[in-house]
């Protein structure tokens, strides 16, 4: 029974490499990968475009009506072999990775109505199993009954350096200092917000990847997944 279609939750800090692990695991197991961070980023892009954000303030009064017009979906791109995120029908996969969105996303992700809408979508996507979902509240709120949960972290300077190098490769203009400040701020908001703050689910397996290679980490995750799948 190697292919029991369990659900796997991967939570953790910003830029801890969750998505890389989640993507590889989904590919190896032939499961569906769902990037919930991309959904919150698309929601942030929506709020920017709709001018719902002014400085560090979000217009919470207009949110309930506005988000009725917020259409977020994933579409598979055969060329990149990945599911790409769409907002109102347009592919925003690149736009959601900009620093402007990164600066605003934690603010938007703290709004209860936005979380409610996205969590409902995420639960629907996971309802038939066979999903690897990564985010901040997956093991605690979205899929509390997931058969396997991981919590991934690394020292903040190491996360900032990795993220900075990734942005450089993508041609995004920024500095290590700016990336570090952004990650520290996102950690602060993500862990202290009132609704669904980032925290470890009691039954999650914690991985600090500061000093291990991607391969070592992947083997660790995969061996746990195979063990759990074998007893389902």
Closest distance of CB 62 from ligand DC, Å: 21
Closest distance of CB 226 from ligand DC, Å: 25
Using the minimum distance from each CB to ligand DC, give the nearer residue, 148 or 229: 148
Closest distance of CB 205 from ligand DC, Å: 18
Using the minimum distance from each CB to ligand DC, give the nearer residue, 139 or 229: 139
| Euclidean distance between CA atoms 16 and 11, whole angstroms | 9
Using the minimum distance from each CB to ligand DC, give the nearer residue, 183 or 221: 183
Using the minimum distance from each CB to ligand DC, give the nearer residue, 4 or 49: 49
Binding site for ligand DC (CB under 6 A): 14, 36-37, 40-41, 105-106, 109, 135-138, 186, 190
Closest distance of CB 109 from ligand DC, Å: 3
Closest distance of CB 167 from ligand DC, Å: 12
Using the minimum distance from each CB to ligand DC, give the nearer residue, 117 or 186: 186
Three-state DSSP string of the chain: CCCCCCEEEEEECCCCCHHHHHHHHHHHHCCEEEEHHHHHHHHHHHHHHCCCEECCEECCCCHHHHHHHCCEEEEEECCCCEEEEEECCEECCCHHHCHHHHHHHHHHHCCHHHHHHHHHHHHHHHCCCCEEEEECCHHHHHCCCCCEEEEEECCHHHHHHHHHHHHHHCCCCCCHHHHHHHHHHHHHHHHHCCCCCCCCCCCCEEEECCCCCHHHHHHHHHHHHHHHHHCC
Using the minimum distance from each CB to ligand DC, give the nearer residue, 176 or 184: 184
Closest distance of CB 227 from ligand DC, Å: 25
């Amino acid at each position: 029974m190697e292919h029991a279609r369990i659900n796997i939750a991967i939570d953790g800090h910003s830029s801890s490499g969750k998505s890389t692990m989640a993507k590889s695991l989904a590919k190896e197991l032939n499961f569906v990968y769902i990037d919930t961070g991309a959904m919150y980023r698309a929601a942030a892009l929506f709020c920017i475009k709709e001018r719902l954000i002014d400085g560090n303030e979000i217009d919470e009064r207009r949110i309930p009506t506005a988000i009725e017009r917020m259409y977020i979906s994933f579409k598979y791109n055969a060329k990149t072999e990945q599911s790409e995120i769409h907002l109102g029908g347009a592919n925003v996969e690149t736009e959601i990775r900009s620093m402007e969105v990164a600066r605003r996303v934690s603010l938007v992700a703290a709004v209860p109505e936005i979380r409610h809408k996205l969590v409902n979508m995420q639960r629907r996507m996971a309802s038939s199993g066979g999903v690897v979902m990564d985010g901040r509240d997956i093991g605690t709120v979205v899929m509390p009954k997931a058969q396997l949960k991981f919590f991934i972290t690394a020292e903040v300077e190491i996360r900032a350096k990795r993220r900075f190098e990734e942005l450089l490769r993508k041609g995004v203009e920024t500095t290590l200092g700016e990336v570090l400040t952004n990650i520290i701020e996102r950690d602060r908001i993500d862990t202290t917000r009132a609704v669904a703050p980032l925290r470890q689910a009691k039954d999650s397996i914690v991985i600090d990847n500061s000093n291990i290679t991607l391969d070592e980490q992947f083997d660790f995750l995969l061996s746990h997944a195979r063990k759990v799948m074998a007893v389902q």
